Structure 1
Amino acid sequence: MTNAPFYPIGTPGQPWGAAEKAQWRARQVPQRRHADDVLPAVDALRDAFDVSQYGTLDYAPDQYPLFAVRSRDWNPALPTMLVTGGIHGYETSGVQGALQFLQTRAAEYAGRANLLVVPCVSPWGYERIQRWNADAIDPNRSFMANSPAAESAALMALVAPLRGSIAMHIDLHETTDTDETEFRPALAARDGKPFEPGLIPDGFYLVDDSENPQPAFQTAVNAAVERVTHIAPADEKGEIIGSPVVAPGVIEYPLEKLGLCASVSGARYTTTTEVYPDSPRATPQQCNDAQVAAICAAIDYALAAPRN
């Protein structure tokens, strides 16, 4: 049992219908602009990279172009590295970390790897600092056939021609205090379930694929990040957000079964980063730097690994 107050939309024990979802959507107001924060940064990359629009989100009255950034001299003989950010729009360092990587480190991999970077998969959520899309759907549970989330379907279509050639996919996320105060209570209310409070880990951690675990890869990424910010410890149950810790700062999920973004590429090496921006021990810039360190370590590991 929990004494947590119920989310202020819907009826306890009853999943939301169209009316409740419309009520929720009406509460979501823009707090920042994708056109101001993200699009100019992407546009500034055109001199060094190929920038292409791979789709458009249509949430009337708003429309959002979706952009991908590729290596200029794409070489099919080289391994491809996929970086995705902003699957959850509220997770700021996922977006800013991907952009910072492109601005400061991506050129180092010219001639060594093909890079495909999608900095902001969910611009509607980015503007509203929201986990879900406008239809109250979590894009990061929607990477599946006939996806109900336009964001997920568009990214899947972009990546589909490259499946089998992608060596590494890193998906950039955050775990925030609002996961407990807003997003998990909203999820429980939407699905007509009771909200059970949990603990937010203080620090950086990774999510590996339980169906394709790559522990040495995860360890290498965490080792690089640890030079930038602290790694989240396990709680008293030996868990992070309810999952057993299989190595310091590493948990596992069945990525494809859960419809998570890191399953979309079919890559051998996959990981989902989780930065904690609300920690008193980390600044926003440290969070961005941690994402960049994770990207570079992931690419470096995949480049050094034997190909078979």
Structure 2
Amino acid sequence: MSVSQPYPIGTPGQPWGATEIQAWRSSHAIRRRYKDDVLAVIDRLRARFDVQQYGSLDFDPERFPLYCIRSRDWHDELPCVLITGGVHGYETSGVHGALRFVERHAADYAGRINLLVAPCISPWAYETIQRWNPYAIDPNRSFRDDSPAQESAALLRLVAPLRERLLLHVDLHETTDTDESEFRPALAARDGKVYEPGEIPDGFYLVDDSEQPQTAFQQAVIAAVARVTHIAPADGRGEIIGSPVIAPGVIEYALRPLGLCAGMTSARYRTTTEVYPDSPRASDEQCILAQVTAVCAAIDYALARA
């Protein structure tokens, strides 16, 4: 979309109402199947892990049940680890990275951690390859009390008993070219604001918590991922997506005030991964591997210091 062109839904300068939200939702067709891509994999894991339904989307409860995967031998004395994917449903490697980790690596940590994995928090957005939920709400700005996003509220309820007990939370995301071509222009249109173009970084990076930074932890994860894919460099201003780079491949956000998923608990170690799937230097498989590598490196670091 050209910067000079207005977003095709709404009136420039005016926030969306119900009519515009309905028009936006109607413009998005099903492009892949949550049942085939996600639920089928979860079903295969039932023989080795406990699978729990923790909610469903009222938009279509039968089509969009929400599932998590838990360690089968849960022991209260063990440290607890939370892995989340698909908060933004279009960020594909986050969903499949979470599932791949459970399939191939979770058993390596049996008896050492209690593991809770929510691999696809936003299944409608997964099917339509969208950032928002069906009501044009960003779940990743909605992890707060009285959340307006049912995807976020359901996860908050699930995690509530563990909120103060978690050692680690890794939230798996992507930054894509469509962030600039579609999702940020849509955000500006929805809110009645002017779209300000940004720059998409080429490579993997992490988002730390500016209110409780763990720079050495973030650097250890970056070092592990650098062995499987390239790390995003800072731009000419020393930034990545508008935030100062505080270590190679690491920026910081105020996670909890922004309502971000990675800020929903009091875990000592928290990070948001950001894979760049549109890079000519990274394949789909590399993107999934980067997510899995980040999870394993994060757990190894946290356990070594628990």
Say yes or no: TM over 0.5: yes
SS at 2:53 equivalent: strand
SS at 2:223 equivalent: helix
Aligned residue number for residue 288 of structure 2:
288
Please list every run of at least 4 consecutive aligned residues from structure 1 whose deviation after the TM superposition is greater than 2 angstroms: 60-63
Q: Does 1:106 align with 2:106?
A: yes
Aligned residue number for residue 257 of structure 2:
257
Q: How does 1:40-51 map to 2 (within 5 A)?
A: 40-51=40-51
Inter-partner Cα distance in structure 1 for 2:29 and 2:62: 12
Q: How does 1:196-235 map to 2 (within 5 A)?
A: 196-235=196-235
Inter-partner Cα distance in structure 1 for 2:77 and 2:21: 47
Aligned residue number for residue 189 of structure 2:
189
SS at 1:169 equivalent: strand
Inter-partner Cα distance in structure 2 for 1:201 and 1:187: 20
8 Å CA contact retained: 1:170, 1:272: yes
CA shift digits 1:248-270 (9 cap, x unpaired): 00000000000000011210100
Query: 1:215 offset after TM fit, Å?
Result: 0.2
Aligned residue number for residue 179 of structure 1:
179
Query: 1:58 offset after TM fit, Å?
Result: 1.5
Inter-partner Cα distance in structure 2 for 1:132 and 1:194: 19
8 Å CA contact retained: 2:3, 2:197: no
Query: 1:213 offset after TM fit, Å?
Result: 0.2
What is the TM-score normalised by the length of structure 1?
0.97
**Could you tell me which amino acid in structure 2 is paired with residue 189 of structure 1?**
A
8 Å CA contact retained: 2:3, 2:195: no
8 Å CA contact retained: 1:4, 1:195: no
Farther-moved stretch of structure 1 (51-60 vs 222-231): 51-60
Q: How does 1:1-308 map to 2 (within 5 A)?
A: 3-60=3-60, 63-305=63-305, 307=306
CA shift digits 1:24-72 (9 cap, x unpaired): 0111111000011100100100111000100011214864100000001
**Could you tell me which amino acid in structure 2 is paired with residue 254 of structure 1?**
A
Inter-partner Cα distance in structure 2 for 1:91 and 1:192: 25
8 Å CA contact retained: 2:229, 2:286: yes
Shift in CA distance, 135/302, structure 1 to aligned 2, threshold 3 Å: same
Inter-partner Cα distance in structure 1 for 2:143 and 2:246: 25
RMSD: 1.1
SS at 2:168 equivalent: strand
Inter-partner Cα distance in structure 2 for 1:285 and 1:63: 27
Inter-partner Cα distance in structure 2 for 1:75 and 1:303: 16
Aligned residues: 305
Inter-partner Cα distance in structure 2 for 1:277 and 1:165: 33
What is the TM-score normalised by the length of structure 2?
0.98
> What fraction of aligned residue pairs are identical, expressed as a percent?
69
Query: 1:295 offset after TM fit, Å?
Result: 0.2
Unaligned runs of 5+ in 2: none
Query: 1:163 offset after TM fit, Å?
Result: 1.3
SS at 1:258 equivalent: coil
Unaligned runs of 5+ in 1: none
